Structure 1
């Protein structure tokens, strides 16, 4: 498998990107990489170039760039060249820590949308309180407004991902709503509930409310991109705040609190590990013709590594082939 890597995307590029790539390269002998970016900067962190090729460019898409304008005008940027390599068959998958909107546009308009898929969606994996795997949430920001057909397609694609990549047997699919009853929500959510409950090939378990998403009540949660992004940011922000406040309370309130912190350290580490989303990699751009993963701009090398593991699993499990086969059969 050959992965096209936008080496210049993100807050700490190219260092964390190169370090993550090196770890994946050293661990998996079946992976090769094409790094797109400034050759001189990349080489500072690359001790050897085994199974790593550098494609030099000094142009990059910034976080402040307007996405569509950027991919049209910065055709020699590291992100656009990486996407073009996938389109041309020079690479099998792509990853970036860069501008989310630009990567979404590059995925749709350069790599291309899957046949029979109306709208691609961003799908991160989120933690649950107890369990050895998280749940996937989509859409997390690509489509502010949705149709019922979008939700159905996302439920199907995410079910394949949960089954093949996460290795969850008969993954449970839920619709994010403002109540658990079948008649909750607006007309769109009521119709979506009915159609999802009748959809063959998925294990639909009904509505889930936002206060239950971390309880492990579903393996796949579908919603519109506006709501999904708000839920995602709320979870991330709350987790950071709770951990920070707990740390301050234990370390800045005298000797007894510090002794308590020492005794509670194993439990605190478990809490931190629960909310550590780095181990899940990044958000998958579901609905395009090749595996594409977007990691947060502030990601470290560990997150980059796990994103590459994620891409490798998607590719080796032939997940997209199974999605394509499903929708081809449905539209016959």
Structure 2
């Protein structure tokens, strides 16, 4: 099935209702990234991309503008336009131009969700600085832990990421940098990044970067590695309280369950829309119909058809069944 560049809307715990934009074509691989994170909801990376120069099928600014203009008018009540999806968006060096083209069409704020891997590059930081909000991943202030969690391409440098985040935080001009700190634990009891030592080091690193916001959260969808598990809400609150004492309540955001928000969506091809969403974001039945504003009874036959055709699969978690594109 052909994948859309613009997909959603998505109900996000952090951003409310968001329309997504995917800036690398996913022919031949459903995931384009330079990390192979142990917690990724999309599973493993078949072939890690080392740099933007390795991208063979980047979406063009014209394709983004045309696709966005076509689908944007079908959705009301958006909180953000978000560059994310099956790829690391900063791998597309036309990202800055795309953000500007979106602004010419829509007054909705633009967010980029990035894994921070290319922060050491000035051209990437310049692109990211065009967004209203950059949500950048930072899982540890310790390189060994960072490598264990992200399993990056060999050419990615940890210290360059830290320095690049610090430079981006200085961009200012009404732009915001939020650090997303995804805390994890393991079924084996092996420590990951939620120990007191890790939290202490993260505080030191975050103080050096000086972001506008720090988001404290844990996984909510089935991860790439089955032995990875979410941090308890009690522990998350402890960490958030520690961050608040260091950085102030106005900077720290504990991300738990998001609020449900209704929006009007005009559906032109329901099957295509559902597949496009599940390709980028595994969802439960409830999350799918809520995000796309679909009548639940209309969604059931679509999911059954996609399952029968082998285009999606069911993946389990302790509490829910998720649907994910194959």
TM-score (norm 1): 0.27
The structure showing larger relative contact order (alpha-carbon pairs under 8 Å, at least 6 residues apart) is: 1
Q: Which has the higher helix share?
A: 1
TM-score (norm 2): 0.28
Q: Quick check: which has more Rg, 1 or 2?
A: 1
